[in-house]
């Protein structure tokens, strides 16, 4: 017996069955999910390095290049993109889809430690990495401005207070601050006069760095207790 024989002998039942199928299709069509593109998240880790005062060329040659050499030796790396600016270098390391992001982060930390001897010895802080894709657009953009305070104080408030609180929110991957205007003091030296004093530019830089570091200035030691003297004498403005 043919499979179509029952439908031919019962045309009314067949028509009702087809109508039910069409009705179910009409009802279920608006409930179908829309997914034009597959949800794919590439394992990507962003490494950032801060080196205040260094030119983009110095950041690219002295900071980005040693790190890229170490990152290129990690198995599963599919792409490395670096961007160097004034005092800042950002390196995005993308891995293949089959690579675990946690295992990749451990390899990145190992590569950073191995490249430590090739980086400038006076980096204020070691390279930092985040499990975030820099190509993803920001979800929330917050503008901070003031008609009373100068831009330097507004920048300090956004960096030390607002950004710190936002980064503690559950689910926040990264907080970026753009348009910063941090205060800076430029020192002009006469090379001939510095050489006549028996000094070099590196000696002047060392003295300036030591004078602007916020650290304990001394200590009181007793028979049972010791207290550190914390006095903030950091240079915040140049004397005229």
How far from 214 is each of 29, 125, 158, 230, 231, CA to CA, in Å? 66, 15, 21, 9, 8
Distance CA 95, CA 10 (A): 60
Same domain, 121 and 152: no
Same domain, 155 and 81: no
- Is position 39 within any domain? no
State if pTM tops 0.85: no
Same domain, 20 and 63: no
Give the model's pLDDT for residue 23. 92
Same domain, 88 and 27: no
Same domain, 122 and 64: yes
Same domain, 196 and 168: no
Q: CB under 8 Å to 79, separation ≥6 — which residues? A: 92, 93, 94
Provide the residue range defining the domain that includes 14: 1-31
Same domain, 94 and 16: no
3-state helix, strand, coil in the chain (%, to 5): 40, 15, 45
- Is position 1 within any domain? yes
Q: Supply the DSSP symbol for 59.
A: I
Q: CB under 8 Å to 194, separation ≥6 — which residues? A: 200, 201, 204
Please report, in tens digits, the pLDDT of each residue of the chain (240 residues total). Answer: 677 777 778 888 888 888 999 999 898 888 887 766 666 677 888 898 888 778 888 888 888 999 999 999 888 888 898 888 888 888 999 998 888 888 888 999 999 998 888 888 888 888 888 887 766 677 888 888 888 888 878 888 888 888 888 888 887 777 877 777 766 677 888 888 888 888 888 888 788 777 666 666 677 787 888 777 766 665 566 664
């Amino acid at each position: 017996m043919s499979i179509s024989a029952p439908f031919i002998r019962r045309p009314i039942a067949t028509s009702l069955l087809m109508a039910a199928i069409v009705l179910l299709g009409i009802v279920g069509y608006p409930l179908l999910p829309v997914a034009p593109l597959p949800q794919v998240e590439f394992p990507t880790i962003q490494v950032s390095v801060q080196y205040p005062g260094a030119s983009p060329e110095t950041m690219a040659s002295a900071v980005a290049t040693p790190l890229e050499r170490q990152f290129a030796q990690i198995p599963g790396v599919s792409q490395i993109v670096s961007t160097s600016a004034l005092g800042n270098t950002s390196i995005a390391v993308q891995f293949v889809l089959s690579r675990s992001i946690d295992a990749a982060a451990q390899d990145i930390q190992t590569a950073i430690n191995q490249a430590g001897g090739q980086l400038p010895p006076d980096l204020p802080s070691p390279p930092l990495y985040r499990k975030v894709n820099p190509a993803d657009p920001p979800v929330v953009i917050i503008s901070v401005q003031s008609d009373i305070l100068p831009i330097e104080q507004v920048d300090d408030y956004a960096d030390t207070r607002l950004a710190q609180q936002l980064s503690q929110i559950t689910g926040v991957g990264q907080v970026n601050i753009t348009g910063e205007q941090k205060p800076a003091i430029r020192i002009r030296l006469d090379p001939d006069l510095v050489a006549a004093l028996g000094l070099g530019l590196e000696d002047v830089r060392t003295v300036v760095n030591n004078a602007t570091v916020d650290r304990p200035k001394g200590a009181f030691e007793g028979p049972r207790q010791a207290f550190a003297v914390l006095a903030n004498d950091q240079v915040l403005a140049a004397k005229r």
